[in-house]
Structures are given as C-alpha cells and as structure tokens.
Amino acid sequence: MENNLADLRELGQKLRAVQRTLFRTRYGNLLGLLEVQVQIPAITALVQYYDYPLRCFTFCDFQLVPTFEEYAQILDMPIDKVIPYQHLDQPLSMSTLSAIMRLPARDLEDRFIFEDRKGFFLSSLAEYLHQLSEERDWEVFRDVFTLTLFGIMLFPKTERFVDNAIISVFIAYRTRSESPVTAILVDTYLALNLYNPKKRTRMTCCLPTLFIWLASHFKERVVGIKCLVESIKL
C-alpha cells in the first residue's frame, strides 16, 4: 500500500496552495491523510489488544473504540445534517461518472474495466491525472484525484485498483453529499475482525485514519506523531 500512496503523494504535489485549500473545502482532510507516514509496528501492537467479542480494544483498566465522531474529525468531514452513505445496490451510472470525469462515454469505456471486475486500474487514473494537470483543469483533477484516493487509500480492497463499489461511494458523496465516514469506520471494524497475524494477513482498511486515531490516544508513546495529532486538533 505504501508504494501506491507514494505515487499519489507525487500527484498531490501538483496542487498548489490555492488548489489545496479548495480541495480541503470540498473533500476534507484527504490530502493530510495522504501525507501520514503510518507506523506499522504501532498498528500491529494495537491490534493485539482488539477484543473481537466486545468489538473494542481492551487494556488493563480501560477500553477504547474508534467512534463516528472521531473519524469525522480526523477526516474533516462534518457530520451535522449529513446523510450517511446508503448502499442502494443499484448499477453504477456511467453517465454520471462520465460527467464528473469530463470524459466522453467512449473514452470512459476505454479506461473502465468491464470483465470479471469492474473499475479502474491506478495506472489509468494516474495517466489521466497527469493529463489534467498539464491542461491545468484543476476542478476535474480534484474530483478524479479524490476518486483515486477513495479506492487506494480509504478503501484499499484490491492492489492498485478502484472497483465499482468504491466508485459508487464516491459518486454518492460527490453528487448527493452522502458522508463516507460511516463506511470508512465500518470498514475499519471489518478489517480488525478479519485480521489474523498468525496467518500473516494484512489490514485492508484506511490505515492513516486508524493510525491517527491511535496517535490521538497514545501520542506521547508513538514516535513522531505529536505534531500531526495537534495539527488536526483532536
């Protein structure tokens, strides 16, 4: 995952100060999360204390759970008067996606995979993002970059691939203002429930969010994250 994020950080550097401000206004703290250097040993140590039956982290004299409000603050996505993402099990609207990405239907179909799995390869999205940056079309760049972040950072299910389900979450957020925060938190719990260090499985959730949550509770004991935690005012 870290290699994928390194590629995205390079793309994110194309956004200058004004564009980054506009990006945060529309899409919260995704650029900030992208810059987080996740300390895997800290995550691994934390997961040892996850209590599967209770769905929480159990320590000697206290328990901790990531909450909706904490995740919303980390992501900088307000939850007041916002509808959570609602999976409607409807086919992806290619016309809506075409309008967001500003790609004619034929060009979109050339980039979109329709076989056994539907979606975009990271290489295809990155190529288009480089093209948009050269054309200085920052409005579309922000949308396509956010779509890419949804697939690679927020919901990293398949290596270097943004699938149909993740695209649906992004479209619901982009067009209907349905918050993805609940989905990200649920995905975290699912990853914790499935994680098995003995079988050497890997955590497949938004690790930067989980790491910042960890750091907000143990910031004096996790090396190098004190400033980061204070900067987002947790």
* Alpha-carbon span 167 to 126, nearest angstrom: 16
Residues 37 and 222: beta-carbon distance below 8 Å? no
- The vertex-83 CA angle with 53 and 208, nearest 5°, equals 55
Would you give per-residue pLDDT tens digits along the chain (234 residues)? 667 788 899 999 999 999 999 999 999 999 999 999 898 888 888 888 899 888 899 988 889 999 999 999 999 998 887 899 987 777 788 899 999 999 998 889 888 887 677 899 999 999 999 999 999 999 999 999 999 999 999 999 888 999 999 999 999 999 999 999 999 999 999 999 888 777 667 788 999 999 999 888 876 554 444 444 444 444
> For the chain, how many residues are written?
234
Return the domain boundaries, the chain: 2-231
Q: Which pLDDT does position 203 carry in this prediction?
A: 83
Please name which of 223, 192, 205, 114 lies closest in space to residue 152, comparing C-alpha atoms.
Answer: 205
Question: Do strands 56-58 and 50-51 pair parallel, antiparallel, or not at all (unpaired)?
Answer: antiparallel
